[in-house]
């Protein structure tokens, strides 16, 4: 029977091969190691949702600044005080340059129902077929489609799927002009509230 470590390795291989779908680099694995060709540390960070070791810069955005609208810098971990309580918030991603990596991290409990909209810059788009699962309900999950340019998170005031501090939305530009996206939610209470959706405008 495969060990837990071997099962995790197999899962990582599947995720890494998905990143290079259609390419000519194949990740292979034996029971003792991973042989990785053409896979970067950012590929692995994105697949594992762990940016440790990437050397990303850090930035802090207050709730007031989020409501006014702000732009995230490339290759940063941005800690944001957005809480959904006072008003809607808006964020613009930087230009989708190949290799750019972003972690948007909440530092406040979601205490309201005002959305935050994260929008691509210029003609950039969200990469299609990114599956996001903030919670277990249908409304808390979505799949990106061709031409999607924004991600809208509308929290619930209580029992919010990604409502606790520490929820992360991760953006990675593997191909210029497109953002791969994944989430690492930290639920509040029962975690059954809120709506997550991609948008084409």
Instruction: Reduce the secondary structure of 86-118 to three states and give it as a string.
Output: CCCEEEECCCCCCCCEEEEEECCCCCCCCCEEE
**pLDDT in the model for residue 29:** 41
DSSP state letters, 20-38: TTTSS---EE-SS-EE-SS
**pLDDT in the model for residue 16:** 55
**pLDDT in the model for residue 35:** 46
Segment 129-180, tens digit of pLDDT: 999 998 877 678 999 999 999 999 999 988 899 999 999 999 999 999 999 9
pTM as predicted: 0.81
Q: Where are the domains of the chain?
A: 1-39, 54-199
Are the beta carbons of 140 and 161 closer than 8 angstroms?
A: yes
Q: How confident is the model at residue 4 (pLDDT cuts 50, 70, 90)?
A: low
Distance CA 118, CA 101 (A): 15
CA torsion angle 75 154 121 60 (round to 10)? -40
Q: Of 9, 172, 188, 175, nearest to 83 (Cα)? A: 188
Segment 70-81, tens digit of pLDDT: 999 999 999 999
**Averaged pLDDT for residues 9-34:** 50
Instruction: Name the DSSP letter for residue 81.
Output: -
pLDDT reading at 120 higher than 60:
yes
Distance CA 4, CA 74 (A): 35
């Amino acid at each position: 029977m495969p060990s837990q470590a071997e099962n995790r390795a197999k899962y990582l291989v599947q995720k890494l091969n998905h990143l290079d779908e259609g390419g000519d680099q194949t990740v292979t694995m034996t029971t003792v190691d991973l042989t990785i060709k053409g896979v970067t540390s950012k590929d692995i960070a994105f697949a594992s949702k762990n940016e440790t070791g990437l050397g990303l810069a850090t930035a802090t955005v207050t709730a007031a600044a989020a409501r006014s609208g702000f732009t995230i810098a490339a290759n940063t971990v941005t800690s944001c005080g957005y809480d959904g309580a006072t008003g809607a918030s808006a964020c613009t991603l930087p230009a989708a340059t190949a290799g750019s990596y972003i972690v948007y991290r909440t530092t406040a409990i979601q205490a309201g129902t005002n959305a935050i909209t994260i929008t691509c810059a210029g003609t950039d788009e969200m990469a299609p077929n990114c599956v996001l699962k903030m919670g277990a309900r249908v409304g808390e999950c979505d799949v990106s489609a061709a031409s999607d340019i924004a991600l809208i998170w509308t929290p619930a005031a209580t029992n919010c799927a990604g409502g606790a501090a520490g929820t992360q939305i991760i953006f990675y530009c593997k191909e210029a002009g497109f953002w791969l996206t994944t989430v690492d939610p930290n639920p509040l209470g029962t975690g059954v509230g809120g709506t997550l959706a991609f948008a084409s405008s």
